[in-house]
């Protein structure tokens, strides 16, 4: 019984830490974006993407570089998190609420 409780607590803790780190990362992006407008001295531009050998050849011959990949969401979670939230919300809505007191 204690092992099961520890496992569930560990899962909850891991999810909490992941969401906390995602929130911190998002706040960092927001702070940097605000610095770009309000305090340009503190703004840190994003790192330049290193082109592969094939892409450099294409660009040197007058072609265009391939588009950068879309961000995977907060901390790389992407759509999977939205699907989990949607499923959780759907589960909650399918259960009838208790009668009022």
Residue 84 lies in a domain: no
What is the domain range of residue 11? 1-48
Residue 77 lies in a domain: no
Number of domains in the chain: 1
54-97 pLDDT, tens digit per residue, is 888 877 888 777 776 665 555 554 444 555 555 555 555 566 66
Q: What is the DSSP letter of 61?
A: T
The span from the CA of 30 to the CA of 26, in Å, is 6
Residue 72 lies in a domain: no
Residue 14 lies in a domain: yes
What pLDDT score was predicted for residue 9? Answer: 92
What pLDDT score was predicted for residue 68? Answer: 67
Residue 38 lies in a domain: yes
Residue 29 lies in a domain: yes
Residue 10 lies in a domain: yes
């Amino acid at each position: 019984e204690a092992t099961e409780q520890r496992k569930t607590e560990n899962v909850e803790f891991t999810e909490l830490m992941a969401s906390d780190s995602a929130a911190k990362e998002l706040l960092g992006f927001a702070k940097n974006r605000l610095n770009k407008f309000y305090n340009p001295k503190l703004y840190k531009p994003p790192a330049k993407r290193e082109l592969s050998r094939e892409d450099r050849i294409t660009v040197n011959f007058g072609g265009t570089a391939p588009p950068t990949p879309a961000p995977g969401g907060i901390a790389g979670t992407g759509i999977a998190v939205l699907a989990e939230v949607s499923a959780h919300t759907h589960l909650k809505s399918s259960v009838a609420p208790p009668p009022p007191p």
